[in-house]
């Protein structure tokens, strides 16, 4: 809903002001108290969009200049065992964005042309919120291009919350909408314990009368409801290691789980990189987008490192949600594996462990006016979500029902059919976006599940084989 400042001021008995960000952005927000008439109090649960500032997203990160390997969609198809014939006919996939993150349909078309992709335009009915195609932003550009590049021919959705709401407001809006995408990718997040801080979810917390812990619990319930609708939610795990973006120099005596990645009702996605670029085979018959680039068709995956990718994958344990039943065995095995752990006081060993899975997050090619190379778990998440839309397509075609909340199936699959994952056993998430202070703590990869790359990266062919065996 849109309104003039004059009308909104009268409706809520408040005042609005201009706020200027150092990078040049100017927005209008309410300041001070506001109220609504008593006559409508009983029918209003929450008021949003008045005072919130733009919500945080994970950074789009450039790899170190010494790294010359790039990831094209065909790199993912080759290394994650997705055949050329894999195609979506019964499933939809969407990206969730927040304020000012717009995409350009023209850039999406150019990306498809440059990388020889079959991408159907996002129909106007599947753009929820206000998109401004003339002002595309890099996060939305990355998200929509890659979820549709991997989810080949998926029915695409672009959902943007322009009115200042954060996770609770979005989840309520999403759950209350009649037709929604089967697969959702979220590349946004913030420190779990700071969800009610100014500029994040402060107004939602104020309206609900909750603190950050209660807010997380409330949103977890909303995510659970969305999963019960048959929707698969995927979230980036964060780009500042186990210490988190709120502690870039590791001065605190505890780690900082990212949220919503730490929710037990979403599938959190970590990031990997290809090491030893000199030994990586180039794609055969590469698309034009790979001209003058070494687009990978092989190589060894490790967890992303600050040295190569300029960030570390988020991961750890929720301080709010307990370890869910579906991952109890995996978490217990990790904590008892003998791998080096941070001090026990730094994390909640009885909490929900994340991420659940991982994918390439460094050297990712996009088109944002020119072919560019970016990275972050913001890239890993839409890659996995797109791949899951292919699996979901099979399920819908076979049973008429979507796969829904993915985690119980992922953990069951990893135990019963380990070949469905490329186990990542090298790397850690000790560094942050700010570097690697000697005081930084974190977790190490090991055999099986770990709070750096989850079960590892997907082997689509083996995943499909397993799903075919149980449906």
pLDDT at 67: 58
Count up the domains in the chain and report the number. 2
Q: What is the pLDDT of residues 134-171, one digit of tens each?
A: 999 999 999 999 999 999 999 999 999 977 789 999 99
Residue written as token pair 């049973």: 399
User: Could you tell me whether strands 364-367 and 357-360 are parallel, antiparallel, or unpaired per DSSP bridges?
Assistant: unpaired
In degrees and rounded to multiples of 5, residue 398 shows phi and psi of -85, -40
Within a domain: 49: no
Question: What distance in Å separates the CA atoms of residue 453 and residue 459, rounded to the nearest whole number?
Answer: 14
Catalytic residue among 52, 97, 99, 143: 143
* Residue 216 in tokens: 């997380």
Question: Which candidate in 232, 362, 378, 389 is catalytic?
Answer: 378
* 232 & 327 share domain: yes
Residues near 366 by beta carbon (within 8 Å), at least 6 away in sequence: 111, 138, 141, 142, 145, 146, 372, 373, 374
- Residue 426 CA neighbour count, 13 Å, CB half: 7
User: Do 2 and 117 belong together in one domain?
Assistant: no
Check whether 52 has a pLDDT greater than 90. no
Spatial distance between the Cα atoms of 59 and 73, rounded to a whole number of angstroms? 21
Report yes or no on 7 lying in a domain: yes
Euclidean distance between the first and the last CA atom of the chain, given in angstroms as a whole number: 43
Kindly provide the b/e burial profile for residues 103-136, where b requires at least 16 CB atoms within 10 angstroms of the residue's own CB.
Answer: bbeebbebbbebbebebeebeeebbbbebeeeeb
Rounded CA-CA distance 128/242 in Å is 33
**Alpha helical stretches, state H, 99-246:** 105-114, 138-150, 167-175, 202-208, 212-228
Q: How far apart are CA 383 and CA 145, in angstroms?
A: 10
What tens digit of pLDDT does each residue of 338-384 get? 999 999 999 999 999 999 999 999 999 999 999 999 999 999 999 99
Same domain, yes or no, for 348 and 289? yes
207 vs 48, 51, 169, CA distance in Å? 8, 12, 11
3-class DSSP assignment, residue 300: strand
Q: Give the residue from 317, 189, 212 showing the smallest Cα distance to 257.
A: 317
Q: Which residues contact 164 (CB under 8 A, 6 or more apart)?
A: 29, 48, 49, 50, 51, 52, 53, 99, 203
CA 266 to chain CA centroid, Å, is 10
Contact 283, 295 (CB under 8 A): yes
> Is 318 found in the same domain as 210?
yes
Q: Clarify whether residues 206 and 333 are in a common domain.
A: yes
Residues 14 and 151 placed together within one structural domain of the fold: no
Q: Are residues 112 and 234 in the same domain?
A: yes
Query: What is the pLDDT confidence band of residue 275, given thresholds at 50, 70 and 90?
Result: confident
Determine which one of 97, 99, 139, 161 is catalytic. 139
**Would you say 367 and 145 are in contact if contact means Cβ atoms under 8 Å apart?**
yes
Q: Is 235 helix (H, G, I), strand (E, B) or coil?
A: strand
Q: Average pLDDT for residues 321-336, to the nearest whole number?
A: 98
- Co-location of 64 and 33 in the same domain: no
Domain assignment of residue 252, given as a range:
54-470
355 in a structural domain: yes
pLDDT, one tens digit per residue, over 139-148 is 999 999 999 9
Same domain as 316, residue 243: yes
378 included as an active-site residue = yes
Residues 228 and 141 in one domain: yes
Same domain, 290 and 322: yes
- Both tokens of 471, joined, read 């449906």
User: What are the tokens at 463?
Assistant: 């995943």
Q: Scanning the structure block, which residue is given the tokens 């040049």?
A: 24
As a whole number, the mean pLDDT across the chain is 90
User: Residue 16's pLDDT is what?
Assistant: 67
- Strand segments, DSSP code E, in 400-449 are 421-422
Read off the pTM: 0.88
Centre a 10 Å sphere on the Cβ of residue 298 and count the other Cβ atoms it contains.
13
Q: Which of 49-53, 92-96, 174-178 has the lowest mean pLDDT?
A: 49-53
State the chain's maximal CA–CA distance in angstroms. 70
| 37 and 83 fall within a common domain | no
């Amino acid at each position: 809903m849109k309104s003039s400042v004059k009308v909104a001021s009268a409706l809520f008995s408040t005042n609005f002001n201009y706020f200027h960000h150092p990078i040049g952005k100017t927005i209008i927000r309410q300041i001070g108290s506001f109220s609504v008439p008593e006559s409508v109090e009983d029918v209003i649960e929450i008021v949003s969009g008045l005072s919130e500032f733009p919500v945080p997203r994970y950074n789009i990160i450039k790899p170190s200049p010494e790294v010359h390997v790039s990831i094209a969609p065909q790199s993912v198809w080759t290394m994650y065992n997705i055949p050329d014939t894999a195609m979506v006919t019964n499933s939809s996939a969407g990206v969730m964005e927040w304020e000012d993150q717009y995409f350009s349909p023209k850039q999406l078309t150019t990306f498809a042309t440059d990388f020889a992709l079959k991408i159907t335009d996002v129909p106007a009915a599947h753009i929820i919120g206000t998109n401004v195609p003339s002002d595309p932003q890099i996060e939305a550009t990355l998200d929509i291009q890659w979820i549709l590049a991997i989810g080949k021919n998926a029915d695409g959705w672009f959902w943007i919350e322009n009115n200042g709401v954060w996770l609770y407001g979005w989840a309520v809006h999403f759950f209350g909408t009649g037709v929604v995408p089967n697969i959702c990718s979220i590349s946004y997040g913030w420190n779990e314990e700071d969800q009610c801080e100014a500029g994040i979810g402060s107004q939602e917390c104020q309206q609900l009368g909750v603190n950050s812990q209660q807010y997380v619990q409330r949103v977890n319930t909303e995510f659970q409801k969305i999963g019960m609708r048959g929707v698969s939610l995927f979230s980036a795990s964060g780009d500042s290691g186990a210490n988190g973006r709120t502690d870039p120099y590791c001065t605190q005596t505890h780690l900082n789980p990212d949220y919503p990645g730490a929710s037990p009702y979403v599938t959190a996605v970590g990031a990997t990189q290809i090491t030893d670029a000199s030994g990586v085979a180039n794609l055969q018959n590469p698309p034009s987008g790979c001209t003058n680039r070494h687009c990978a068709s092989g190589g060894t995956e490790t967890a992303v490192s600050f040295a190569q990718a300029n960030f570390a994958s988020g991961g750890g344990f929720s301080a709010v949600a307990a370890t869910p039943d579906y991952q109890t065995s995996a978490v217990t095995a990790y904590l008892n594996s003998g791998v080096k752990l941070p001090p026990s006081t730094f994390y909640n060993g009885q909490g929900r462990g994340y991420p659940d899975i991982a994918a390439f997050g460094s050297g990712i090619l996009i088109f944002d006016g020119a072919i560019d190379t970016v990275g972050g778990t913001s890239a890993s998440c839409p890659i996995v979500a797109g791949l899951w839309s292919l699996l979901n397509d099979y399920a819908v075609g076979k049973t008429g029902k979507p796969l829904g909340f993915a985690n119980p199936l992922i953990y069951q699959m990893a135990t019963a059919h380990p070949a469905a994952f490329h186990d990542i056993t090298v790397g850690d998430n000790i560094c942050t976006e700010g570097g690697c202070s000697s005081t930084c703590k974190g977790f190490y990869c090991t055999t099986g599940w770990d709070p750096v790359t989850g079960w590892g990266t997907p082997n689509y062919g083996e995943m499909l084989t397993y799903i075919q065996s149980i449906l």
